[in-house]
Amino acid sequence: VAFLDSSTGRLIVRIAYDGPPLAGKTETLRALGAQVASPVESFDEAYGRTLWFDWMNHAGGIHDGRPIECEVVALPGQSSLQARRNALLQGTDTVLFVADASRPGQQPTIDAFERLIAWHRVQDMPPGVVVQANKQDVPGSWDAQALRRALHLHAEVPIVESVATDARGVRHAFVFAVRAAVNRAAWLREHVGPLPTRDGPRTARQVLHALKQSAVEAS
């Protein structure tokens, strides 16, 4: 959920990249980080697969006179890591779903989206959703329209075609995600009450620590 930074008054929002395994979530966040000149941290990668998460703190944009501070996280896609994914999804303002539009990625994309929607449905205040149709460079990939049909997306869900390995479409999708997060914050302020405050955005280390702590408690 969106926060206000108690010392600076900045609006803090959280954006999470979700999607099937190997869809290009890490690649997307790294391409975005390079474009906006914010460092990306990755934790415990094994054979190129994310085991914990990738993280970026990024200051960008103004809403209602307040600078916006984004916490951006890329989730691990492997199905065995569901508990970590759910823990990282808590408090998210926008989920940016990275679909693998290439042929071999299509069924995993449908499965991962169903998984996300099942989670989304039971949230009190569900985050916004933006979709990235990744791997457009691979012949035979679904374009945005085909993906929209396959996922039964509502017309209001933004969908952006991308090639993460060329940084194409990545920033465009992120802008939609920030906009959705900010709209949600405005909606919460209007319908729920003043936004909670917090002492600055979270850092990657803090999130990793909390995540490892909750894993210990759960076991």
Instruction: Say whether residue 48 binds ligand GTP (CB under 6 A).
Output: yes
Instruction: Say whether residue 134 binds Mg ion (CB under 5 A).
Output: no
Residue 97 buriedness (CB in 10 A; 0-12 / 13-18 / 19+): buried
Q: Which of 18, 32, 50, 129 binds ligand GTP (CB under 6 A)?
A: 50
Alpha-carbon distances of 144 from 74, 91, 102, rounded to whole Å? 21, 28, 12
Site for ligand GTP in 62-101 (CB under 6 A): 76-78
Residue 33: name its binding partner from Mg ion, ligand GTP, none (Cβ under 5 to 8 Å by kind).
Answer: none
Residue 101: name its binding partner from Mg ion, ligand GTP, none (Cβ under 5 to 8 Å by kind).
Answer: none
Paired tokens of 26: 């890490």
| Site stretch for ligand GTP (CB under 6 A), options 16-24, 58-66, 147-155, 172-180 | 16-24
Site for Mg ion in 6-25 (CB under 5 A): 25
Instruction: Say whether residue 28 binds Mg ion (CB under 5 A).
Output: no
Paired tokens of 54: 């990738």
Q: Which residue has the tokens 């850092």?
A: 203
Residue 14: name its binding partner from ligand GTP, Mg ion, none (Cβ under 5 to 8 Å by kind).
Answer: none
Instruction: Say whether residue 50 binds Mg ion (CB under 5 A).
Output: yes
Instruction: Say whether residue 49 binds ligand GTP (CB under 6 A).
Output: yes
Count the residues in the chain.
Answer: 219
Instruction: Say whether residue 165 binds ligand GTP (CB under 6 A).
Output: yes
Q: What minimum distance in Å lies between the beta carbon of 48 and ligand GTP?
A: 6
Instruction: Say whether residue 105 binds ligand GTP (CB under 6 A).
Output: no
3-class DSSP state for residue 58?
A: strand
Cβ atoms of residues 184 and 14 within 8 Å = no
Sequence-distant (≥ 6) Cβ neighbours of residue 134 within 8 angstroms: 19, 23, 24, 28, 98, 99, 100, 101, 162, 163, 164
Cβ atoms of residues 78 and 49 within 8 Å = yes
Paired tokens of 178: 């920030």
Instruction: Say whether residue 112 binds ligand GTP (CB under 6 A).
Output: no
Residue 94: name its binding partner from ligand GTP, Mg ion, none (Cβ under 5 to 8 Å by kind).
Answer: none
Instruction: Say whether residue 26 binds ligand GTP (CB under 6 A).
Output: yes
DSSP 138-150: STT---HHHHHHH
List of residues contacting Mg ion (CB under 5 A): 25-26, 50
List of residues contacting ligand GTP (CB under 6 A): 19, 21-27, 48-50, 76-78, 134-135, 137-138, 163-165
